[in-house]
């Protein structure tokens, strides 16, 4: 597996919203190489002026593992270009087959440069917010192996973050609702995220330390979805409510979006 070539493939697919074949099926590669490809693809984004703003965790809930058939925790990068303005219309034209999932997002106040305990994790946090992640696998039919999805920066495509809160006390088991046009499409609890979303900070500190990455103070950490993801379409109002913490919302534009309507949601 040529790392630079593979990085260019996933980067082009994301840039031009054009799905590619899975890579792991034609040429087997290891998780370590997958993270190298991911890193190299982020370097391509940075060379175009994008800036990393934090990281996201994936497959921190059973619901997501079951939906995608992958059962290892993964992580990828968030960049400034992925951050959507909360409440604003999102243009789906830049995605292939976007899905949305309810999460919580953390804001750090100290550098994370070593593996943290749960208690230490709390001391590194400034705030938490209800959030949604827009994922958009660059692979055809949203199908991938563990290595494929890591190489593809864990399907990261967009994020919408609601108002910051300091209600860490209610975070462990807060009700989560995701609504499309006022109708509940996913219902769950933050407890689905590793039993307690704070554990995602413990995991984030572990995986970044292993990768010899320092997460600077002021970074965002997306904890991973509490429920399965839901396919997006044009002209929707999308809302995520996390009980006791708040809500986040956005709309999708009516016109102009190229979205693969045939993609299944499971
Ligand atoms: C991979 C990303 C998983 C999560 O929150 O679990 C993820 C995918 O489902 O395409 O972001
Ligand atoms: Mg996610």
Q: How far is CA 224 from the centre of its chain?
A: 6
Query: pTM of the entire structure?
Result: 0.95
Q: Show the DSSP H helices in 16-174 as ranges.
A: 31-47, 62-68, 118-123, 146-151
Write down all domains in the chain, each with its CATH number in brackets. Answer: 3-252 (3.90.850.10)
SS3 128: strand
pLDDT digits (tens, 9 = 90+) for 106-141: 999 999 999 999 999 999 999 999 999 999 999 999
CA dist., res. 242 & res. 175, Å (int):
6
Are 139 and 247 in contact by the 8 Å Cβ rule? The answer is no
Ligand 1, CB cutoff 6 Å, lining residues = 56, 58-59, 64, 68, 101, 133, 135, 137, 149, 154-155, 224-225
pLDDT digits (tens, 9 = 90+) for 29-88: 999 999 999 999 999 999 999 999 999 999 999 999 999 999 999 999 999 999 999 999
Best substitution site from 69, 133, 157 to test ligand 1's pocket, by max atoms within 8 Å of Cβ? 133
pLDDT digits (tens, 9 = 90+) for 133-150: 999 999 999 999 999 999
Atom of ligand 1 nearest to the CA of 61: 6
CA dist., res. 2 & res. 61, Å (int):
32
> String of b and e for 165-174 (b: at least 16 CB within 10 Å)?
beeeeebeeb
Contacts of residue 29, Cβ cutoff 8 Å, sequence gap at least 6: 1, 23, 147, 151
Measured by CA distance, the residue closest to atom 8 of ligand 1 is 155
């Amino acid at each position: 597996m040529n790392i630079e070539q593979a990085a260019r493939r996933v980067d082009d697919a994301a840039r031009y919203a054009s799905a590619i074949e899975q890579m792991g099926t034609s040429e087997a590669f290891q998780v370590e190489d997958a993270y190298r490809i991911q890193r190299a693809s982020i370097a391509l984004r940075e060379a175009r002026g994008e800036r990393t703003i934090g990281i996201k965790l994936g497959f921190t809930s059973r619901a997501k593992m079951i939906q995608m058939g992958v059962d290892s925790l993964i992580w990828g990068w968030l960049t400034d270009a992925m951050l959507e303005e909360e409440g604003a219309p999102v243009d789906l034209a830049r995605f292939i087959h976007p899905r949305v999932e309810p999460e919580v997002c953390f804001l750090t106040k100290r550098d994370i440069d070593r593996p943290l305990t749960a208690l230490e994790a709390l001391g590194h946090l400034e705030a938490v917010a209800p959030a949604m992640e827009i994922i958009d696998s660059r692979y055809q039919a949203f199908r991938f192996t563990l290595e494929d999805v890591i190489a593809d920066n864990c399907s990261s495509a967009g994020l919408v973050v609601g108002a910051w809160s300091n209600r860490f006390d209610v975070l462990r088991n807060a009700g989560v609702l995701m609504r499309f046009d006022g109708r509940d499409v996913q219902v769950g609890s933050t407890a689905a995220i590793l039993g307690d979303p704070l554990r995602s900070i413990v995991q984030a500190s572990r995986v970044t330390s292993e990768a010899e990455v320092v997460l600077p103070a002021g970074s965002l950490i997306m904890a991973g979805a509490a429920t399965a993801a839901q396919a997006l379409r044009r002209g929707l109002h999308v809302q995520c409510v996390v009980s006791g913490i708040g809500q986040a919302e956005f709309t999708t534009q009516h016109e102009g979006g190229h979205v693969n309507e045939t993609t299944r949601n499971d």
